[in-house]
Structure 1
Amino acid sequence: MNVWVSGTAPGSRNIAEKAIAISAAMAGAGLLTKLSIAVSVTQSLVQLFVLGLSFAVGMMLANIGSMVRYGFLLSAVGWLLVLLSLLGGQTGLVLLPGIVAGGLGLGVAHGRLMTGNRIVNVMSSVSALVAVLLIQANSAPGVNGYGFAFAVVIDLTLLGVVLVRIAEAERK
């Protein structure tokens, strides 16, 4: 099974996984930025800094071995922690463990996939960001709307797991 991106078969089989990893990171960062309305700006900047730092550390750790699938799984668990914290009424720095796990996992998934098409990455990131912001704005008032939007980020990371698993099964 080949993954088709924009109607053409990708030159590298990892282009879709890389696009998913970067778009999930951008969607999560966009949601954390919009969450700054509910929390202080300082806490939001700390959250974004921690997400960027954990993504960079994950990219460095990715050179150790082939852990793309596990990176996506770690990211899904991290964003699930963020989702559960938000649904429990917690905001601010309480979200940091989930943000660290989510960013680290996406960095691991993205780091090994260094080949790709920049146009596909930008288009997928913009579309994921617009989708989660529209879902958050139209689903429920207040913090409850973020639950539905972070669920989309979790779904993106789980889609990455499925695509990596399909690629692994094709190689066998």
Structure 2
Amino acid sequence: MLTDQNTSATAKEPSVSSILAGLAADPLTRRISVEEAAQFFAHPSQQIYGAAPDNLPGEPFMYYASGPFCGAAHPGPLRDVWIVDYAVKPEGWGNLVEHARNVLRMHWDTVQPASLIGFTRTDLRHALAFMRRVGFVPIGTLTASNGDFVISHFGEPQWALIQ
């Protein structure tokens, strides 16, 4: 079941340019291989959705790293919409917003999507707060066989998945 939570929140939604404007291209943020990404998924806390170092998907997934943060992205079901996820090495916990934004900037500049969509379990309050700090805006919830999820959007305010 998909629930609309977009009650004129888009008017307050920050633009991608305002979120990423203060970031210069970070020379330490880079695109990485699936083999390099595996190390970010080694800790059991990063395997909650079934991802593990030995079963990460290759193409069309794209992986990026900035410090202890790894971003993963793949094309969604709609043109110019990408689904994103992330994994973090334990030493980076609590200090990730800039790393996440560096990865978002690199991916945004590389593929120039209309929107990035993230799914976060509703019981992972720390992850939901992190997504908001990075610049994702909750747009709905989804009840699936493996739990309840908040759907979050990162993109220009005029573009919305749910109207």
> Normalized against structure 2, the TM-score is what?
0.27
Higher strand share: 2
> Normalized against structure 1, the TM-score is what?
0.26
Higher helix share: 1
